[in-house]
Chain A
Amino acid sequence: QVQLVQSGAEVKMPGASVKVSCKASGYTFTSYDIHWVRQATGQGLECMGWINPNSGNTGYAQKFQGRITMTRNTSISTASMELSSLRSEDTAVYYCARVTGSIAAAEYFDSWGQGTLITVSS
């Protein structure tokens, strides 16, 4: 079955960087885009961007441009998201999610990672 397993929770100082990984199994890693979505406590879902594991092409939400980097390692079926210059407002649960669907602009997230809590605090 499709599984996305994320790295564990981390506590970071303001100004630091964090890298969250997402290991895929149960399907061909390079066949589906991976998106990263975050959720602050008590808040809604916020899209951060995506990566195409086959080409390595990425797309980032404007809000995160300049301090987010998404990468992938196809040899270990793992996508990663690095966020730099962390501030307290970045405290949230970060999810990776697989996008599927054969119709353009009709894709949907059919599998999600378990989430990774990133706490930014001095």
Chain B
Amino acid sequence: SYELTQPPSVSVSPGQTASITCSGDKLGDKYASWYQQSPGQSPVLVIYQDGKRPSGIPERFSGSNSGNTATLTISGTQAMDEADYYCQAWDSRSHVVFGGGTKLTVL
């Protein structure tokens, strides 16, 4: 089965750039989406189709996808960005696959 691998945790200082990676076999040939989940809340879409931002998502969120790795980048990270982030793609059998999640700590 297709797997997406994320680092369990990433730390960043306020105002700096945070990068969260998501790795999968030939992931660059697929489309990746990213979701933010704060404690006790439902996931929220922050990036879809590799690098598109839904309305209402700040411009500091961006995404890219190439080779075997998709990357979520948060520029000028703020304390409110501290959350869990999940990548998502579809495998060759049209099944949804989520990465294991990355806890972003802003300190």
A residues sitting closer than 8 Å to B (CB atoms) are 35, 37, 44-47, 50, 59, 61, 95, 97, 101, 103, 105-110, 112-115
**B42 and A115 within 8 A (CB):** yes
Report how far A44 CA is from B101 CA in the complex, Å. 6
With a cutoff of 8 Å between Cβ atoms, the chain A residues found around residue B54 in the complex are: 110
Count of inter-chain pairs, beta carbons less than 8 A: 57
**A112 and B48 within 8 A (CB):** no
Given A44-B86, A47-B95, A105-B31, CB of A110 within 8 Å of CB of B100 = no
Q: Which of B43, B44, B98 contacts A46 (CB 8 A)?
A: B98
Residue in A46, A97, A106, A110 whose Cβ sees the most chain B Cβ within 10 Å: A106
5 CB contacts below 8 A, A to B, read: A37-B98, A47-B97, A108-B33, A108-B88, A109-B45
Residue in A59, A105, A108, A109 whose Cβ sees the most chain B Cβ within 10 Å: A108
* Chain B: minimal CB distance from A118 (Å): 15
With a cutoff of 8 Å between Cβ atoms, the chain A residues found around residue B35 in the complex are: 45, 109
Report how far A97 CA is from B42 CA in the complex, Å. 10
For residues 49 through 107 of chain B, which have their beta carbon under 8 Å from a beta carbon of chain A?
Answer: 49, 54, 86, 88, 90, 94-101
Report how far A3 CA is from B96 CA in the complex, Å. 22
Given contacts A46-B98, A107-B90, A108-B48, 13 further A-B contacts (CB under 8 A): A44-B86, A45-B86, A47-B97, A59-B94, A95-B42, A97-B43, A101-B48, A103-B31, A105-B30, A106-B90, A110-B45, A112-B42, A114-B42
* Chain B: minimal CB distance from A40 (Å): 12
With a cutoff of 8 Å between Cβ atoms, the chain A residues found around residue B31 in the complex are: 103, 105-106, 108
Report how far A64 CA is from B44 CA in the complex, Å. 25
